[in-house]
């Protein structure tokens, strides 16, 4: 089977649109060529794009050993945030995963649940009710502070957290320009843009190194994620070095705060536009009567709220694409894949594919009722799939459930604005304008 080709001329012709928002370009080609097509990127490079859920599962799960993260992450993103779970491959990745994953089990997260709860409640005090606001800055700050305080119990009264947040976001903006304009790669080097961003990220590494050293020398324990990571040991009894810890912490900041803040914004916008669904969430969250729940209890008592978040992440997956490179020859459904082939998986398209979903653009949380979930498991990828599925999925879901529960208990949320998107490294909302009306 021959994969349809999209010419480099068409890429150049649509360059401005692709830089601004590549999703319409992707959709146009999927509709024209089918669920798999190849794009000529110029200079002898190309990439295969797919919205074939079976192919995605083939690469991420069934034949995952034949595929690695592509240089888009291991080199392009890696130069800014280091060699951690998100950007490493092979034996090193597996060793890190085995070491880090236990810190994110639900029972372990119960230890920091009160920190998550307190941080969320503190941040939500900033809401101005009976006033129309863009909720994105609020959710972005909330998610960043939840990660920071859960990681290292940081009670910074200065600008350290704000500075880390600024650097994290600046690095992502720089990277997205590089990814979407590969033909300008030499210019990005010559202009000093890449050097400037690396200088910024080195500043972040220095900040984090100071925090780690202070903790190592304090002799105190805080029962936070940093304690768990410092206490973790490889099979040979050794611990992570400071550089390894910093790599993983930077990845937790990048992957952990923005994806969550984006999902929260989209969830709130969708609930604001569907008052009947919002009323069902209110009926559920009102049952707690202010009672403090453990993490496991919160999951158990928030089933409909969880369904709403899952449906929001179907329509607007924060991790809206993933990438792989074939490290050996492979074959899928008659398609021959040469070693070195780069494949970009569009979760955004898979999550809206008419072959998989009834009325795919309708917000319907009942899709994710426990009776229906199994039906969609093969084409739903909010946190990826297979061995490289997001290590922080439980953390993120708990944070989102608590945030939405706290908000819906106190406010009715309304919005008359359309939902707009800005695909960067993650899928961001634009003008997430809502009104919080006190109940």
Q: What is the CATH number of the domain that holds 282?
A: 1.10.630.10
Q: Residue 34: inside a domain, yes or no? A: no
- Write the pLDDT tens digit of every residue in 335-392: 999 999 999 999 999 999 999 999 999 999 999 998 887 788 899 999 999 999 999 9
Tens of pLDDT, residue by residue over 104-137, are 988 888 889 999 999 999 999 999 888 899 999 9
pLDDT > 80? residue 99:
yes
CA distance 8 to 41: 6
Distance in angstroms (rounded) separating the CA atoms of residues 333 and 346: 18
Query: Residue 356, Cα to own-chain centre: how many angstroms?
Result: 23
Q: What is the pLDDT of residue 155?
A: 61
Provide the whole-model pTM.
0.91
> How many other CB atoms sit within 10 Å of the CB of residue 105?
10
What pLDDT score was predicted for residue 290? 66
**pLDDT for 435:** 96
What is the band of 16 on the pLDDT scale with cuts at 50, 70, 90?
Answer: confident
User: Residue 20 pLDDT more than 90?
Assistant: no
E strands, 7-102, where? 36-42, 45-50, 67-68
The highest-confidence range among 79-83, 147-151, 287-291, 410-414, by mean pLDDT, is 410-414
Partnered with residue 68 across adjacent β-strands are 325
What mean pLDDT, rounded, does the chain reach? 91
pLDDT by residue (tens digit) across 133-166? 999 999 999 998 899 888 888 666 457 878 888 8
pLDDT at 402 over 50: yes
**Looking at the domain assignment, is residue 12 inside a domain?**
no
Does 413 have pLDDT greater than 50? Answer: yes
Structure tokens, 295: 């993490």
* Average pLDDT rounded to a whole number, residues 265-290: 93
Task: Output 90 or 19, whichever has higher pLDDT.
Answer: 90
- For residues 35-56, give the mean pLDDT: 94
Residue 368: C-alpha distances to residues 107, 148, 315, 373 (Å):
24, 31, 13, 5
Q: Is 144 inside a domain boundary? A: yes
1, part of any domain:
no
Q: 338 in helix, strand or coil?
A: coil
Per-residue b or e along 138-164, where b marks 16 or more CB atoms closer than 10 Å to that residue's CB: bbbbbbbbbbbbbbbbbeeeeeebeeb
282 within some domain: yes
- pLDDT at 158 (0 to 100): 57
Is residue 434 situated within a structural domain? yes
Task: Flag whether 27 is in a domain.
Answer: no
Q: In this model, does residue 281 exceed pLDDT 50?
A: yes
What domain range includes position 246?
51-438
Q: What is the pLDDT of residues 162-186, one digit of tens each?
A: 888 888 888 888 887 887 777 787 8
**Across 203-229, average pLDDT:** 89
Return the pLDDT at 157: 47
How many domains, the chain? 1
- Indicate the length of the chain as a whole number: 439
């Amino acid at each position: 089977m021959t994969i349809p080709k999209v010419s480099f001329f068409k890429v150049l012709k649509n360059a401005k649109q692709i830089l601004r928002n590549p999703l319409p370009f992707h959709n146009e080609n999927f509709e024209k060529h089918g669920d798999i097509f190849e794009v000529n990127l110029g200079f002898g490079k190309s990439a295969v794009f797919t919205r074939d859920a079976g192919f995605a599962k083939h690469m991420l799960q069934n034949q995952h050993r034949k595929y690695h993260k592509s240089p888009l992450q291991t080199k392009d993103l890696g130069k800014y945030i280091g060699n951690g779970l998100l950007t490493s491959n092979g034996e090193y990745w597996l060793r890190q995963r085995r070491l880090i994953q236990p810190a994110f089990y639900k029972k372990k997260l119960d230890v920091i649940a009160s920190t998550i709860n307190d941080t969320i409640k503190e941040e939500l005090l900033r809401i101005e009710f009976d006033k129309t606001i863009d909720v994105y800055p609020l959710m972005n700050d909330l998610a960043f502070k939840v990660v920071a305080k859960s990681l290292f119990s940081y009670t910074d009264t200065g600008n350290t957290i704000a500075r880390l947040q600024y650097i994290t976001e600046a690095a992502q903006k720089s990277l997205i320009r590089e990814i979407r304009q590969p033909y300008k790669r030499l210019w990005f080097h010559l202009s000093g843009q890449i050097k400037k961003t690396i200088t910024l990220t080195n500043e972040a590494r220095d900040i984090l190194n100071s925090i780690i050293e202070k903790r190592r020398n304090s002799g105190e324990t805080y029962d936070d994620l940093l304690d768990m990571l410092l206490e973790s040991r490889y099979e040979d009894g050794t611990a992570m070095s400071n550089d390894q810890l910093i790599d993983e912490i930077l990845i937790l900041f990048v992957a952990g705060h923005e994806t969550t803040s984006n999902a929260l914004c989209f969830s709130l916008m969708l609930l604001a536009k569907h008052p009947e669904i919002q009323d069902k969430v209110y009926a559920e969250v009102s049952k707690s009567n202010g009672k403090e729940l453990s993490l496991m209890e919160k999951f158990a008592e928030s089933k409909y709220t969880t369904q709403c978040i899952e449906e929001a992440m179907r329509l607007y997956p924060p991790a809206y694409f993933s990438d792989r490179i074939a490290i050996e020859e492979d074959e899928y459904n008659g398609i021959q894949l040469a070693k070195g082939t780069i494949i970009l998986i569009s979760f955004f398209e898979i999550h809206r594919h008419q072959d998989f979903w009834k009325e795919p653009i309708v917000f319907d949380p009942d899709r994710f009722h426990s009776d229906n979930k199994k039906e969609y498991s093969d084409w739903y990828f909010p946190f990826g799939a297979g061995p490289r599925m997001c290590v922080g999925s439980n953390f993120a879901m708990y944070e989102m459930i608590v945030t939405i529960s706290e908000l819906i208990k106190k406010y009715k949320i309304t919005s008359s604005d359309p939902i707009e998107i800005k695909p960067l490294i993650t899928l961001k909302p634009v003008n997430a304008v809502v009104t919080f009306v006190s109940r």
